[in-house]
Homo-oligomer: A and B are copies of this chain.
Protein backbone atom coordinates (compact mmCIF):
# COMPACT_ATOMS: atom_id res chain seq x y z
CA UNK A 1 0.00 0.00 0.00
CA UNK A 2 1.43 3.32 -1.01
CA UNK A 3 1.33 5.39 2.14
CA UNK A 4 3.17 8.51 1.07
CA UNK A 5 2.56 11.46 -1.14
CA UNK A 6 5.09 10.08 -3.64
CA UNK A 7 2.57 10.33 -6.46
CA UNK A 8 2.15 14.01 -5.75
CA UNK A 9 1.80 15.95 -9.03
CA UNK A 10 5.12 17.70 -8.41
CA UNK A 11 6.99 14.42 -7.96
CA UNK A 12 9.76 13.62 -10.39
CA UNK A 13 10.23 10.08 -11.63
CA UNK A 14 13.73 8.61 -11.45
CA UNK A 15 15.03 5.34 -12.91
CA UNK A 16 15.97 2.77 -10.29
CA UNK A 17 19.58 2.51 -11.49
CA UNK A 18 20.03 6.27 -11.13
CA UNK A 19 18.60 6.22 -7.62
CA UNK A 20 20.83 3.31 -6.72
CA UNK A 21 23.93 5.15 -7.97
CA UNK A 22 22.97 8.34 -6.15
CA UNK A 23 22.39 6.60 -2.81
CA UNK A 24 25.70 4.73 -2.99
CA UNK A 25 27.61 7.84 -3.94
CA UNK A 26 26.08 9.93 -1.14
CA UNK A 27 26.55 7.23 1.52
CA UNK A 28 30.13 6.68 0.45
CA UNK A 29 30.86 10.40 0.50
CA UNK A 30 29.30 10.53 3.98
CA UNK A 31 31.91 8.05 5.15
CA UNK A 32 30.13 4.69 4.90
CA UNK A 33 32.23 1.65 4.05
CA UNK A 34 31.33 -0.39 0.93
CA UNK A 35 29.34 -3.02 2.84
CA UNK A 36 27.25 -0.34 4.54
CA UNK A 37 26.70 1.55 1.25
CA UNK A 38 25.54 -1.66 -0.37
CA UNK A 39 23.22 -2.86 2.41
CA UNK A 40 21.62 0.53 3.06
CA UNK A 41 21.03 1.19 -0.64
CA UNK A 42 19.64 -2.31 -1.15
CA UNK A 43 17.20 -1.94 1.76
CA UNK A 44 16.02 1.55 0.73
CA UNK A 45 15.60 0.40 -2.87
CA UNK A 46 13.47 -2.51 -1.65
CA UNK A 47 11.10 0.10 -0.25
CA UNK A 48 11.31 2.40 -3.28
CA UNK A 49 10.90 -0.43 -5.80
CA UNK A 50 7.88 -2.00 -4.05
CA UNK A 51 6.04 1.25 -3.34
CA UNK A 52 6.77 1.29 0.39
CA UNK A 53 7.98 4.88 0.08
CA UNK A 54 7.98 5.51 3.83
CA UNK A 55 10.92 3.09 3.97
CA UNK A 56 12.49 3.98 0.65
CA UNK A 57 15.05 6.56 -0.45
CA UNK A 58 13.18 9.15 1.60
CA UNK A 59 15.38 7.79 4.44
CA UNK A 60 18.69 8.67 2.74
CA UNK A 61 18.90 12.13 4.30
CA UNK A 62 18.13 10.72 7.76
CA UNK A 63 20.74 8.00 7.39
CA UNK A 64 23.40 10.56 6.39
CA UNK A 65 22.46 12.64 9.43
CA UNK A 66 22.88 9.73 11.85
CA UNK A 67 26.07 8.40 10.20
CA UNK A 68 27.75 11.78 10.23
CA UNK A 69 26.32 12.70 13.65
CA UNK A 70 27.73 9.69 15.49
CA UNK A 71 24.53 7.78 16.27
CA UNK A 72 25.32 5.17 13.61
CA UNK A 73 28.83 3.89 12.92
CA UNK A 74 29.38 4.07 9.15
CA UNK A 75 32.31 1.61 9.24
CA UNK A 76 31.40 -1.00 11.86
CA UNK A 77 33.31 -4.22 12.53
CA UNK A 78 30.19 -6.31 13.15
CA UNK A 79 30.83 -9.72 14.69
CA UNK A 80 29.07 -12.73 16.09
CA UNK A 81 28.90 -12.18 19.84
CA UNK A 82 27.84 -15.74 20.55
CA UNK A 83 26.87 -18.87 18.68
CA UNK A 84 25.10 -21.98 19.91
CA UNK A 85 23.85 -24.71 17.61
CA UNK A 86 21.32 -23.23 15.20
CA UNK A 87 21.28 -19.75 16.76
CA UNK A 88 23.64 -16.80 17.14
CA UNK A 89 23.80 -13.23 18.35
CA UNK A 90 25.30 -10.61 16.05
CA UNK A 91 26.86 -7.51 17.60
CA UNK A 92 26.26 -4.76 15.06
CA UNK A 93 28.70 -2.38 16.83
CA UNK A 94 26.29 0.52 16.39
CA UNK A 95 26.44 0.12 12.61
CA UNK A 96 23.52 0.51 10.24
CA UNK A 97 20.58 -1.78 10.94
CA UNK A 98 20.22 -2.80 7.29
CA UNK A 99 23.79 -4.14 7.17
CA UNK A 100 23.17 -5.94 10.46
CA UNK A 101 19.90 -7.45 9.29
CA UNK A 102 21.26 -8.66 5.93
CA UNK A 103 24.35 -10.13 7.68
CA UNK A 104 22.13 -11.77 10.31
CA UNK A 105 19.78 -13.23 7.71
CA UNK A 106 22.72 -14.53 5.66
CA UNK A 107 23.95 -16.31 8.77
CA UNK A 108 20.47 -17.58 9.64
CA UNK A 109 20.22 -19.06 6.12
CA UNK A 110 23.61 -20.77 6.55
CA UNK A 111 22.44 -22.25 9.83
CA UNK A 112 19.16 -23.35 8.25
CA UNK A 113 21.03 -24.94 5.35
CA UNK A 114 22.91 -27.14 7.84
CA UNK A 115 20.25 -27.55 10.54
CA UNK A 116 16.84 -26.84 8.95
CA UNK A 117 16.29 -23.64 10.90
CA UNK A 118 18.46 -20.75 12.02
CA UNK A 119 17.82 -17.70 14.17
CA UNK A 120 20.03 -14.69 14.76
CA UNK A 121 19.38 -11.98 17.35
CA UNK A 122 20.95 -8.60 16.61
CA UNK A 123 22.45 -6.31 19.26
CA UNK A 124 23.66 -2.72 19.21
CA UNK A 125 21.90 -1.98 15.97
CA UNK A 126 19.96 0.92 14.49
CA UNK A 127 16.92 1.58 12.26
CA UNK A 128 16.95 -1.17 9.67
CA UNK A 129 14.42 0.17 7.15
CA UNK A 130 11.79 -2.10 5.57
CA UNK A 131 11.61 -5.42 7.46
CA UNK A 132 10.40 -7.14 4.30
CA UNK A 133 13.76 -6.56 2.61
CA UNK A 134 15.47 -9.06 4.92
CA UNK A 135 12.69 -11.62 4.72
CA UNK A 136 12.94 -11.46 0.91
CA UNK A 137 16.72 -11.98 1.15
CA UNK A 138 15.99 -15.42 2.65
CA UNK A 139 13.17 -16.25 0.23
CA UNK A 140 15.39 -15.40 -2.75
CA UNK A 141 17.65 -18.24 -1.61
CA UNK A 142 14.74 -20.67 -1.21
CA UNK A 143 14.19 -20.22 2.55
CA UNK A 144 11.25 -18.94 4.56
CA UNK A 145 12.47 -15.69 6.13
CA UNK A 146 11.11 -13.82 9.15
CA UNK A 147 12.36 -10.44 10.38
CA UNK A 148 11.11 -8.35 13.31
CA UNK A 149 12.33 -5.23 15.09
CA UNK A 150 11.04 -3.03 17.88
CA UNK A 151 11.24 0.76 17.66
CA UNK A 152 10.61 3.89 19.69
CA UNK A 153 7.17 4.07 21.35
CA UNK A 154 4.27 5.26 19.23
CA UNK A 155 1.47 2.80 19.88
CA UNK A 156 -0.74 2.52 22.94
CA UNK A 157 -1.63 -0.74 24.59
CA UNK A 158 -5.14 -2.14 24.38
CA UNK A 159 -7.05 0.16 26.75
CA UNK A 160 -3.78 2.02 27.34
CA UNK A 161 -3.29 5.79 27.50
CA UNK A 162 0.42 6.10 26.75
CA UNK A 163 2.79 5.46 23.89
CA UNK A 164 4.15 2.03 24.77
CA UNK A 165 5.26 -0.21 21.89
CA UNK A 166 6.88 0.87 18.68
CA UNK A 167 5.13 0.06 15.44
CA UNK A 168 7.06 -3.23 15.80
CA UNK A 169 6.82 -4.76 12.33
CA UNK A 170 6.58 -8.44 11.42
CA UNK A 171 7.80 -9.43 7.96
CA UNK A 172 7.75 -12.88 6.45
CA UNK A 173 8.60 -14.08 2.96
CA UNK A 174 8.01 -17.55 1.55
CA UNK A 175 9.54 -18.76 -1.71
CA UNK A 176 7.16 -19.46 -4.59
CA UNK A 177 8.68 -21.55 -7.38
CA UNK A 178 9.24 -19.54 -10.58
CA UNK A 179 7.66 -16.44 -9.08
CA UNK A 180 8.36 -13.63 -6.67
CA UNK A 181 7.90 -14.67 -3.02
CA UNK A 182 4.76 -14.49 -0.92
CA UNK A 183 5.64 -11.35 1.04
CA UNK A 184 3.91 -10.19 4.19
CA UNK A 185 5.17 -7.07 5.94
CA UNK A 186 2.93 -5.46 8.56
CA UNK A 187 3.21 -2.99 11.40
CA UNK A 188 1.46 -4.20 14.55
CA UNK A 189 -0.17 -0.77 14.90
CA UNK A 190 -3.63 -0.21 13.38
CA UNK A 191 -2.11 2.16 10.79
CA UNK A 192 1.35 3.49 10.00
CA UNK A 193 2.16 6.83 11.60
CA UNK A 194 2.87 8.37 8.22
CA UNK A 195 -0.77 7.66 7.32
CA UNK A 196 -1.77 10.00 10.14
CA UNK A 197 0.64 12.64 8.82
CA UNK A 198 -0.66 12.21 5.28
CA UNK A 199 -4.31 12.55 6.37
CA UNK A 200 -3.38 15.64 8.36
CA UNK A 201 -1.74 17.27 5.35
CA UNK A 202 -4.75 16.38 3.19
CA UNK A 203 -7.28 17.60 5.77
CA UNK A 204 -8.96 14.17 5.89
CA UNK A 205 -10.61 12.41 8.83
CA UNK A 206 -8.93 9.23 10.07
CA UNK A 207 -10.80 5.91 10.09
CA UNK A 208 -12.43 5.08 13.42
CA UNK A 209 -10.31 3.57 16.18
CA UNK A 210 -6.83 3.89 14.69
CA UNK A 211 -5.41 6.83 16.68
CA UNK A 212 -5.84 8.31 20.16
CA UNK A 213 -5.50 11.52 22.12
CA UNK A 214 -3.12 11.68 25.10
CA UNK A 215 -5.96 10.34 27.27
CA UNK A 216 -6.09 7.18 25.19
CA UNK A 217 -9.53 8.15 23.82
CA UNK A 218 -10.01 7.56 20.10
CA UNK A 219 -9.84 10.50 17.74
CA UNK A 220 -10.56 10.79 14.03
CA UNK A 221 -8.77 14.16 13.84
CA UNK A 222 -5.20 13.53 12.70
CA UNK A 223 -4.16 16.83 14.30
CA UNK A 224 -5.18 15.51 17.72
CA UNK A 225 -3.51 12.12 17.33
CA UNK A 226 -0.93 11.62 20.06
CA UNK A 227 -0.49 7.88 19.58
CA UNK A 228 -1.61 5.03 17.36
CA UNK A 229 -3.95 2.22 18.33
CA UNK A 230 -2.75 -1.37 18.19
CA UNK A 231 -4.06 -3.53 15.32
CA UNK A 232 -7.49 -5.02 16.00
CA UNK A 233 -9.86 -2.21 17.03
CA UNK A 234 -12.10 -3.58 19.80
CA UNK A 235 -9.78 -6.60 19.79
CA UNK A 236 -6.64 -4.49 20.11
CA UNK A 237 -5.23 -6.92 22.66
CA UNK A 238 -4.28 -8.99 19.61
CA UNK A 239 -2.24 -6.22 17.98
CA UNK A 240 -0.68 -5.35 21.34
CA UNK A 241 0.20 -9.00 21.94
CA UNK A 242 1.82 -9.29 18.53
CA UNK A 243 3.80 -6.12 19.25
CA UNK A 244 4.82 -7.73 22.54
CA UNK A 245 6.07 -10.85 20.77
CA UNK A 246 8.19 -8.62 18.50
CA UNK A 247 9.42 -6.71 21.56
CA UNK A 248 10.47 -9.89 23.34
CA UNK A 249 12.33 -11.33 20.35
CA UNK A 250 13.99 -8.01 19.43
CA UNK A 251 14.77 -6.46 22.81
CA UNK A 252 14.45 -9.05 25.60
CA UNK A 253 16.29 -11.85 23.78
CA UNK A 254 19.10 -9.41 22.96
CA UNK A 255 19.29 -7.38 26.17
CA UNK A 256 18.64 -4.27 24.05
CA UNK A 257 16.32 -1.36 24.75
CA UNK A 258 12.61 -1.81 25.19
CA UNK A 259 10.53 0.47 22.96
CA UNK A 260 9.71 2.91 25.77
CA UNK A 261 13.47 3.34 26.49
CA UNK A 262 14.51 4.04 22.90
CA UNK A 263 15.43 7.61 21.98
CA UNK A 264 13.20 9.04 19.23
CA UNK A 265 14.30 8.26 15.68
CA UNK A 266 13.75 11.92 14.72
CA UNK A 267 16.21 13.30 17.26
CA UNK A 268 17.16 15.90 18.46
CA UNK A 269 20.08 13.72 19.62
CA UNK A 270 21.75 12.24 16.53
CA UNK A 271 25.05 11.44 18.24
CA UNK A 272 24.14 8.69 20.74
CA UNK A 273 23.67 5.10 19.57
CA UNK A 274 20.07 3.99 20.21
CA UNK A 275 20.78 0.42 21.30
CA UNK A 276 18.24 -1.28 19.05
CA UNK A 277 17.79 -5.00 18.80
CA UNK A 278 16.20 -7.10 16.05
CA UNK A 279 15.61 -10.76 15.30
CA UNK A 280 15.67 -12.81 12.09
CA UNK A 281 14.85 -16.43 11.40
CA UNK A 282 15.24 -18.68 8.37
CA UNK A 283 13.54 -22.03 7.71
CA UNK A 284 14.64 -24.56 5.09
CA UNK A 285 11.43 -25.99 3.63
CA UNK A 286 12.89 -29.29 2.41
CA UNK A 287 14.11 -30.09 5.91
CA UNK A 288 10.42 -30.66 6.74
CA UNK A 289 8.85 -31.97 3.56
CA UNK A 290 10.05 -32.89 0.08
CA UNK A 291 10.47 -29.79 -2.02
CA UNK A 292 7.98 -30.87 -4.71
CA UNK A 293 5.22 -31.18 -2.09
CA UNK A 294 6.14 -27.81 -0.61
CA UNK A 295 6.17 -26.05 -3.96
CA UNK A 296 2.96 -27.67 -5.16
CA UNK A 297 1.08 -26.85 -1.95
CA UNK A 298 2.38 -23.28 -1.83
CA UNK A 299 1.34 -22.72 -5.45
CA UNK A 300 -2.10 -24.22 -4.86
CA UNK A 301 -2.56 -22.05 -1.77
CA UNK A 302 -1.65 -18.80 -3.52
CA UNK A 303 -3.49 -19.56 -6.76
CA UNK A 304 -6.67 -20.56 -4.93
CA UNK A 305 -6.43 -17.37 -2.91
CA UNK A 306 -5.98 -15.17 -5.98
CA UNK A 307 -8.93 -16.82 -7.73
CA UNK A 308 -11.32 -16.77 -4.79
CA UNK A 309 -14.48 -14.62 -4.94
CA UNK A 310 -14.20 -10.98 -3.89
CA UNK A 311 -16.66 -8.48 -2.47
CA UNK A 312 -18.45 -6.35 -5.05
CA UNK A 313 -15.97 -3.94 -6.63
CA UNK A 314 -12.94 -5.38 -4.83
CA UNK A 315 -10.01 -7.64 -5.67
CA UNK A 316 -8.50 -10.38 -3.54
CA UNK A 317 -4.72 -10.25 -3.35
CA UNK A 318 -2.04 -12.43 -1.81
CA UNK A 319 0.43 -10.65 0.48
CA UNK A 320 2.99 -8.98 -1.76
CA UNK A 321 0.91 -9.04 -4.95
CA UNK A 322 0.27 -5.31 -4.84
CA UNK A 323 3.91 -4.57 -4.04
CA UNK A 324 5.35 -6.78 -6.81
CA UNK A 325 2.95 -5.20 -9.33
CA UNK A 326 4.17 -1.79 -8.24
CA UNK A 327 7.77 -3.03 -8.57
CA UNK A 328 7.05 -4.00 -12.19
CA UNK A 329 5.60 -0.55 -12.91
CA UNK A 330 8.52 1.22 -11.27
CA UNK A 331 11.09 -0.96 -13.04
CA UNK A 332 9.57 0.32 -16.29
CA UNK A 333 8.61 3.87 -15.36
CA UNK A 334 10.95 4.78 -12.52
CA UNK A 335 10.35 5.78 -8.90
CA UNK A 336 8.33 8.89 -8.08
CA UNK A 337 10.26 11.16 -5.73
CA UNK A 338 8.18 13.57 -3.66
CA UNK A 339 9.09 17.27 -3.37
CA UNK A 340 10.50 17.01 0.19
CA UNK A 341 12.80 14.16 -0.85
CA UNK A 342 13.84 16.07 -4.00
CA UNK A 343 14.86 18.97 -1.79
CA UNK A 344 16.77 16.66 0.56
CA UNK A 345 18.54 15.12 -2.44
CA UNK A 346 19.53 18.61 -3.69
CA UNK A 347 21.09 19.38 -0.33
CA UNK A 348 22.95 16.07 -0.26
CA UNK A 349 24.15 16.47 -3.86
CA UNK A 350 25.44 19.92 -3.10
CA UNK A 351 27.01 18.95 0.22
CA UNK A 352 28.86 15.91 -1.13
CA UNK A 353 29.46 17.04 -4.72
CA UNK A 354 27.38 14.20 -6.14
CA UNK A 355 25.30 14.51 -9.32
CA UNK A 356 21.54 14.63 -8.77
CA UNK A 357 19.62 11.66 -10.21
CA UNK A 358 16.86 13.87 -11.56
CA UNK A 359 18.79 16.92 -12.78
CA UNK A 360 17.21 18.04 -16.04
CA UNK A 361 14.34 15.51 -15.81
CA UNK A 362 10.80 16.73 -16.30
CA UNK A 363 8.06 16.29 -13.71
CA UNK A 364 6.59 12.77 -13.95
A-to-B contact residues, CB < 8 Å? 82, 84-87, 89, 114-119, 121, 144, 157-162, 164, 172, 174, 182, 184, 186, 190-191, 207, 209, 215-217, 231-235, 237-242, 244-245, 247-248, 251-255, 258, 260, 283-285, 287-290, 293-294, 297-298, 300-301, 304-305, 308-312, 314-319
Residue from the list B242, B301, B309 in contact with A252, Cβ < 8 A: B301
Q: Please state if B311 and A217 are interface contacts (CB–CB under 8 Å).
A: yes
Given A157-B305, A300-B258, decide whether A119 and B283 contact each other with a Cβ distance below 8 A. yes
Distance (whole angstroms) from the CB of A173 to the closest CB of chain B: 10
In angstroms, Cα B316 to Cα A217, docked, is 14
Q: Please state if B297 and A184 are interface contacts (CB–CB under 8 Å).
A: no
A contact face: mostly helix, strand, loop, or mixed: mixed
Q: Please state if B82 and A85 are interface contacts (CB–CB under 8 Å).
A: no
Distance (whole angstroms) from the CB of A291 to the closest CB of chain B: 11
Q: Please state if B297 and A172 are interface contacts (CB–CB under 8 Å).
A: no
In angstroms, Cα B79 to Cα A90, docked, is 36
Q: Which residues of chain B are near A289, meaning CB under 8 Å? A: 89, 121, 253-255
Q: Which residue of B lies closest to A233 (CB)?
A: B233
Top-9 shortest CB links A-B: A85-B115, A87-B116, A159-B314, A216-B311, A184-B241, A86-B86, A84-B287, A255-B293, A161-B309
Q: Please state if B241 and A231 are interface contacts (CB–CB under 8 Å).
A: no
Q: Please state if B82 and A288 are interface contacts (CB–CB under 8 Å).
A: yes
Q: Which residues of chain B are near A314, meaning CB under 8 Å? A: 159, 216
Q: Which residue of B lies closest to A322 (CB)?
A: B237
Q: Which residues of chain B are near A240, meaning CB under 8 Å? A: 319
Q: Which residues of chain B are near A217, meaning CB under 8 Å? A: 311-312
Further contacts, 11 of them, CB under 8 A, given A84-B284, A217-B312: A84-B288, A85-B287, A87-B283, A182-B244, A186-B238, A215-B312, A216-B311, A240-B319, A242-B242, A253-B288, A258-B300
